[in-house]
C-alpha cells in the first residue's frame, strides 16, 4: 500500500502467511494469481516489505482455512493500549473442560426450563434411540 511505512507487525504477519502457504502446499505464484498480482508482490508481503490489505488477507485465510485471528495472535504491539477485543475471552474447544458432557448438561437445563413436559418426553425418547444405535 503506497505511502504506508511497514514495521515489525508487517514482518510478523508476513512470516505467518509464508508459513501457512507452505503448509498448504501453495506456491507464491498460485496465491499471487488469486490476489491478481505478481509473485514478487506476494513475496514482499511475506517479507513484511509491503503491508498486505485486509481483503487479500481474507482471501488467503479462506484459501488455507486458517482463521484471520491466527495471523495476529502473538503479534508484537507497538502501542500501550489495552486490547479490548470483541467481548468475552476465547471459548474452549469442545474436547476440553468437560467437553460434550458439559454441553449436554447445559442443553438439558435449558430444555427443562423452557420446553413443555410433552416435548421433553419426546426428546428423551429420541436420545434413548440414539444411545441404542450408537452403543451397538
By mean pLDDT, which of 39-43, 46-50, 95-99 is the weakest?
A: 95-99
Quote the domain boundaries for residue 117.
99-135
Summarize pLDDT for 44-57 with one digit per residue, the tens: 999 999 999 999 99
Q: What is the pLDDT of residue 1?
A: 44
Same domain, yes or no, for 66 and 19?
A: yes
> Does residue 80 form part of some domain?
no
DSSP annotation of 116 reads -
Rounded CA gap, 52 and 34, in Å? Answer: 14
Q: What angle do CA 63, 18, 2 make, to 5 degrees?
A: 90
> Does residue 106 form part of some domain?
yes
Rounded CA gap, 72 and 8, in Å? Answer: 12
Report the greatest alpha carbon distance in the chain: 66
> Does residue 103 form part of some domain?
yes
Residue 34 has pLDDT above 60, yes or no: yes
Domain count for the chain: 2
**Whole-structure pTM value:** 0.58
Amino acid at each position: 500500500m503506497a505511502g504506508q511505512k511497514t514495521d515489525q507487525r508487517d514482518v510478523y504477519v508476513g512470516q505467518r502467511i509464508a508459513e501457512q502457504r507452505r503448509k498448504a502446499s501453495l506456491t507464491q505464484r498460485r496465491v499471487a494469481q488469486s490476489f491478481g498480482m505478481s509473485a514478487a508482490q506476494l513475496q514482499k508481503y511475506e517479507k513484511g516489505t509491503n503491508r498486505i490489505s485486509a481483503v487479500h488477507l481474507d482471501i488467503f485465510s479462506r484459501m488455507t482455512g486458517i482463521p484471520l485471528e491466527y495471523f495476529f495472535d502473538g503479534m508484537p504491539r507497538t502501542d500501550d493500549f489495552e486490547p479490548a477485543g470483541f467481548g468475552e475471552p476465547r471459548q474452549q474447544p469442545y474436547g476440553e473442560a468437560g467437553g460434550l458432557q458439559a454441553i449436554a448438561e447445559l442443553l438439558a437445563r435449558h430444555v427443562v426450563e423452557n420446553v413443555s413436559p410433552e416435548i421433553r418426553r419426546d426428546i428423551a425418547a429420541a436420545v434413548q434411540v440414539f444411545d441404542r444405535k450408537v452403543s451397538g
